[in-house]
Structure 1
Amino acid sequence: MIVKIHSRGAGSGSGPVDYLLGKDRQREQATVLRGDPDRVCELIDSCDFARSYTSGVLSFQEPDIADSEKSRLMDEWEQTLMTGLDRDQYNCLWVEHRDKGRLELNFVIPNIELQSGKRLQPYFDRADRPRVNAWQTLTNDRLGLRDPNDPLNRRPMTQASDLPRDKQQAAEKITAGLMNLMQQGEIRSRQDVVKQLESYGLSVARETKNSISIADPDGGKNIRLKGMIYERDFKFGEGLRGEIEAAGAGYRAEREARVREAGNVYQRGLEIKLAEHQQRYPRTERPTDGHSQIFPPDRTGLDIPVRRAADHDTGRDNLVSGNGHHFPPERNGQLQPATGEPESPERCRGSDLQGRQAEEH
């Protein structure tokens, strides 16, 4: 499982809800697991904020998991983002997708605290990513799910889950063709990849450390190609597979330390988020109708021991995402995790809450 937080969040409520369920609410293999789509639309439309909602997906390689585990994961994820808030202080829509041959649990949260009407920001990348990565690590380990940070599970291509279907198919075909040429020895570096794309008649619009963007022939938004073969340091050779296997063995040997550190990071992150929410959204009385979210920081449902201040070593927080084990320097760029969407500079400005979160964390 991998957690992805979408970078979008502005506009009317019909945008994310129609994407998840279809405009006629008849999207194939889409099922509402929790929440009221119409209510979520109303809340998003009522928000007078620059960013009116937060959305994302828990994406699995597995085709399905037990319903009881889905329920538990939804509870844990809401606690991870909204710890310290009661259930009547926020709204969350959950929609299951199965149309890609695997399980996706999609969520949409209106960015409004329901009791006060204040702006609610469930996720701020710079502050919340360590806690989210830690939860992902703990959950994958607990359920034995495919770990995206294991070097053996690195994919030749990853793409945004909200990419239009026609562009997804185009990216998949391009990658399949490049992989075939790589196996034949005709592609051995990123430079070869770029030359091959141009030979297809495609225009490379942008290159970054981890991706290549090609111009849409129809004039739409650029199509970003992201994955191992599109990274700047990619080099194919006879020794690549051996390096990947060795890195994978080292990664799995560090499992106990990685899980222990994830528990520490997650616990500390919950404590900070809890204090922040309770300060910003205080309640004079607790609800008595069963909506209370009874999740104190030391009882997360993840079997995490109570942490002490002495247990926390900020210098090791990056172990949670598997950054503690590397390829040799020339391969190191191929092992970095890709959980979530990074904040753009524009998103990091214009909000007193964002500034305060980053400063406190």
Structure 2
Amino acid sequence: MLVKFFNRGTGKGKGPVEYILKETDAQGIIREPLPELLKGNPQQTINLIDSLNFKQKYKSGVISFAPSDAPTNEQLEAVINSFEETAFAGLSPDQYDILWVKHTHTGDDRVELHFVTPTVDLISGKSLNIAPPGSNKYFEPWRDYWNLSQRWARPDDPQRARSYHPGHQALIDAQNTRLELNGQKPLKRDDAKKMIHEYLLRQITEVRQIENRNDIITTLENSGFTITRKGENYLTVTHDDLGQRIRLKGGIYHESWRPEPRPTTETRTGQTPSESDKKGELTTVSAKLAAHI
């Protein structure tokens, strides 16, 4: 499981709210199963966002589960409550508004919890940013706590990411990629590059549909990208919604690249991590999380 905040939030509330609730994706394809409203009032969220004079009017993002996680409804409810306790630490429920929508239409049995929250304390009227710079110091322990305690897939596992671009995680699927590209403001080049890379990493590590660079090219083209140039260790791409060319270089973009074999439950030394090791790590991340909450 992982959590991702989108680089949006300055426009009207209708855009992010309607996107996560719409019966069709950005390409007009029916989402099946349809999105499921779990918590919140969509129109109230829209009205609150539109009433704000702040530059950053809302925060949106997704909690994405690997297909192998298979969270139950009870677990999803617990994750939502725990996320709110972390994101809105010290606040009571009447001080914030948040909308939760469940997506299960990606076709690989993967569950996503999308959220949109106006950046305002409803009591004081002051700006409330739940993910300011440096917020990873508490969202990462939160993520790690749940992955360790529920034995869910961990995006920070070095054996999962060893052969890929360091520091990036497989975060978003094609629909989220299109959402970002269809945003209300043009993406900066670095943001667009990171977003494309994260999408491809997810296809490699979670969906496992990519085995070489030709598969990467096919995946990009199927997502609406045009490959304008191919080099030995880079690809140059563009997209109708980007308005610029993006060069993707090194690592997975090299013509000879192949993914490493999917790791087993054994460690690199050939030993299975002990339960005591896992409990020790869980204790550590629990302490970090408690320090914030």
- Alpha-carbon distance in structure 1 between the residues aligned to 2:93 and 2:80: 13
- The answer (yes or no) to whether the contact 1:203–1:214 under 8 Å persists in 2 is yes
The letter of the residue matching 1:50 is: K
Q: CA deviation at 1:219?
A: 6.2
Report matched runs for 1:190-205 at 5 Å: 201-203=227-229
Q: CA deviation at 1:24?
A: 8.5
Match of 1:61 among 41, 66, 73: 66
Deviations along 1:291-316, one digit per CA (max 9) or x if unpaired, are xxxxxxxxxxxxxxxxxxxxxxxxxx
- Alpha-carbon distance in structure 1 between the residues aligned to 2:24 and 2:239: 30
Q: CA deviation at 1:123?
A: 1.3
Deviations along 1:75-126, one digit per CA (max 9) or x if unpaired, are 0000010011111100010000011131001111100111111111111131
- The answer (yes or no) to whether the contact 1:213–1:223 under 8 Å persists in 2 is no
- The answer (yes or no) to whether the contact 2:23–2:35 under 8 Å persists in 1 is no
Please list every run of 5 or more consecutive structure 1 residues that lacks an aligned counterpart in the other structure: 184-199, 271-361
Using the aligned pairs only, state the percent identity: 24
Q: Are positions 1:8 and 2:8 aligned together?
A: yes
- Alpha-carbon distance in structure 2 between the residues aligned to 1:226 and 1:83: 39
User: Residues 53, 237 of structure 1: CA spacing in aligned structure 2 closer, same or farther, 3 A cutoff?
Assistant: closer
Which residue does the alignment assign to 1:109? 117
- Alpha-carbon distance in structure 2 between the residues aligned to 1:144 and 1:177: 24
Match of 2:82 among 76, 80, 94: 76
- Alpha-carbon distance in structure 1 between the residues aligned to 2:6 and 2:53: 20
Q: CA deviation at 1:218?
A: 3.6
TM-score (norm 1): 0.56
Secondary structure of the structure 2 residue equivalent to 1:164: helix
- The answer (yes or no) to whether the contact 2:212–2:257 under 8 Å persists in 1 is no
User: Which structure has more RCO (C-alpha within 8 Å, separation ≥ 6)?
Assistant: 1
TM-score (norm 2): 0.67
Which residue does the alignment assign to 1:18? 18
Q: Are positions 1:179 and 2:211 aligned together?
A: yes
CA RMSD of aligned residues (A): 4.3
Match of 2:290 among 267, 272, 277: 267
Match of 1:98 among 104, 109, 119: 104
- Alpha-carbon distance in structure 1 between the residues aligned to 2:244 and 2:66: 26
- Alpha-carbon distance in structure 1 between the residues aligned to 2:152 and 2:250: 21
Match of 2:157 among 139, 150, 158: 150
Secondary structure of the structure 1 residue equivalent to 2:145: helix
Q: Between Structure 1 and Structure 2, whose CA radius of gyration is higher?
A: 1
Q: CA deviation at 1:224?
A: 7.3
Q: CA deviation at 1:241?
A: 5.0
The total of aligned residue pairs comes to: 243
Deviations along 1:22-66, one digit per CA (max 9) or x if unpaired, are 288985421100001111000000111010001111100137422
Q: Are positions 1:37 and 2:69 aligned together?
A: no
- Alpha-carbon distance in structure 1 between the residues aligned to 2:249 and 2:71: 26
Report matched runs for 1:226-265 at 5 Å: 229-230=251-252, 246-247=267-268, 252=273, 254-265=277-288
Q: CA deviation at 1:19?
A: 1.2
The letter of the residue matching 1:158 is: A
Which residue does the alignment assign to 2:93? 87
After superposing the two structures, state which structure 1 stretch, 50-59 or 250-259, moved more.
Answer: 250-259
User: Residues 82, 250 of structure 1: CA spacing in aligned structure 2 closer, same or farther, 3 A cutoff?
Assistant: farther
- The answer (yes or no) to whether the contact 1:37–1:93 under 8 Å persists in 2 is yes
Q: CA deviation at 1:181?
A: 5.7
Which residue does the alignment assign to 1:321? none
Which residue does the alignment assign to 1:120? 128
The letter of the residue matching 1:104 is: E
- Alpha-carbon distance in structure 2 between the residues aligned to 1:228 and 1:159: 20
Match of 2:146 among 133, 139, 144: 139
Q: Are positions 1:216 and 2:238 aligned together?
A: yes
Which residue does the alignment assign to 2:56? 51
User: Residues 235, 53 of structure 1: CA spacing in aligned structure 2 closer, same or farther, 3 A cutoff?
Assistant: same
